[in-house]
Amino acid sequence: MSGGRGTALARKRALLGGKHLLLLVLAAFMLFPLVLTVSTALKTDRDVRLNPFGLFSSFSTENIVTAWTVGSFGDYVLNSFLLSVPSTLLVVVLSTMGGYTFARLPFRGRTFLFYLVLLGLLVPFFAYMIPLYFQLRSMGMLDSLVGTNLVLASTGVSFGTFFMRAFFSDLPNELEEAARIDGATEWQIFSRVMLPLVTSGAGALAVFTFLQNWNNFLVPLLYIPGGEYRPLTTGLYLFLGGRSLDLGPLAAGTLITILPVLVLFVVMQRQVTQGFLSGAVKG
């Protein structure tokens, strides 16, 4: 009896071991491009020339320095923040206010406005990016921080409003009624009672939106044709086009581009995953 149970257990354990082995091999495959980036970025210049893709065959930070200074990746980092932070804040603020309205403040015509916002989930940026270019040009908003931040925000608010609305809809009506009986104004109900209860949702939205904006390629490609506010994504693309043979600095530039993403992802994994999971409704 006990022997039979023992072998069954051993078989189960062996199966689990095999599973782990397979998973580790798969994880190594999935992570390999990342490993290759780090390895190439941290080589000496000479080693890059001789053996560009050999893993961790030397160590130096000279490529990082070259990319940061000569490759202007230092400027690109700053620009990426200047384009991602305000647009993210804008998305979170506008979506929170809009989400609250669409969840809890009924008025005539509200449904029409909500459908207009939701239309943004159905129509991809692609469909209207070309006319938007000429619109921005006539508004004097090409190559501008304000214009690009507003465009980035506009690509995020549809999902953001939808996302925040779900949080506000879940809050119990009793809260609102109790506050009203206590003499709170509508504004106070929103700002003092309801708002503190959706901070985790707003946080997830912020992390998710920041990643989207940081990674955005098409918006800066189209609307920042000059170089003044070029962020990391189009900066790296430009470097790839002009100096693709400078493998060391190119790898370093790639590492600089993805490092903030990686840090944010590892530290706030739950928020990121939550955002992407609910972002899935975007289809």
Partner 1 sequence: MSGAVGPSTVAPKRAARVVSHAPRSTRRAQTRLGLLLVLPLMVVVVVFFVIPLVNAIYYLFVDFNGINPNPPFIGLQNFVELATDPAVWDAAVNNAIWIVFGTVGPLALGLAFALLVWGVRRGSVFYKLAFFVPFVLPQVAIGVVWGWIYDPTSGWLNKGLELIGLGRVTTGWLGNPDTALYAVLATAIWSVSGFVFVIFLSALRNVDADIMDAARLDGANPWQRLVHIIVPQIMPVFLMVTTITLVGGFSVFDIIFIMTGGGPAGATEVLGTYAYSSAFQLNRISYGTTLALIITVISIPFAIWLNRLQRRLSLQGTGA
Which 33-72 positions form the footprint of partner 1 (CB under 8 A)? 33-34, 36-37, 40, 52-53
Select from 8, 31, 175, 178 the one that contacts partner 1 (CB under 8 A): 31
Q: In this chain, which stretch among 5-13, 64-72, 198-206, 253-261 interacts with partner 1, using CB under 8 A?
A: 253-261
DSSP states of 203-267: HHHHHHHHHHHHH--HHHHHH--SSTT--HHHHHHHHHHHHTT-HHHHHHHHHHHHHHHHHHHHH
Select from 45, 145, 171, 265 the one that contacts partner 1 (CB under 8 A): 265
Dihedral pair phi/psi, residue 71, rounded to 5°: -80, 0
- Applying CB under 8 A, does 9 fall inside the site for partner 1? no
Q: Which of 207, 172, 190 is nearest to 278 (CA)?
A: 207
- Applying CB under 8 A, does 109 fall inside the site for partner 1? yes
Contact between 235 and 253 under an 8 Å Cβ cutoff? The reply is yes
Q: Which of 75, 67, 81, 23 is nearest to 248 (CA)?
A: 67
Q: Number of helices (H) and strands (E) in the chain: give both, helices first.
A: 14, 0
For residue 116 the two structure tokens come to: 């207009």
Select from 5, 187, 196, 242 the one that contacts partner 1 (CB under 8 A): 187
- Applying CB under 8 A, does 175 fall inside the site for partner 1? no
Q: Least CB distance from residue 59 to partner 1, whole Å? A: 19
Q: In this chain, which stretch among 3-11, 63-71, 106-114, 195-203 interacts with partner 1, using CB under 8 A?
A: 106-114
Select from 66, 79, 84, 95 the one that contacts partner 1 (CB under 8 A): 95
- Applying CB under 8 A, does 108 fall inside the site for partner 1? yes
Select from 26, 178, 263, 267 the one that contacts partner 1 (CB under 8 A): 26
Q: Least CB distance from residue 61 to partner 1, whole Å? A: 19
In angstroms, what CA-CA distances link 5 with 2, 10, 14, 94, 155? 5, 9, 14, 60, 58
Q: In this chain, which stretch among 6-14, 21-29, 59-67, 196-204 interacts with partner 1, using CB under 8 A?
A: 21-29
Per-residue contact track with partner 1, 202 to 221, x per CB under 8 A?
---------x--xx-xx---
Given the structure tokens 């560009």, which residue do they identify?
52
- Applying CB under 8 A, does 185 fall inside the site for partner 1? yes
Residue 135 burial class via C-beta count within 10 angstroms: exposed 0-12, middle 13-18, buried 19 and up: middle
Reported as type and span, the H/E element at residue 70 is none
Dihedral pair phi/psi, residue 120, rounded to 5°: -65, -20
Which 124-163 positions form the footprint of partner 1 (CB under 8 A)? 124, 126-132, 134-135, 150-151, 153-154, 157-158, 161
Q: Least CB distance from residue 143 to partner 1, whole Å? A: 15
- Applying CB under 8 A, does 98 fall inside the site for partner 1? yes
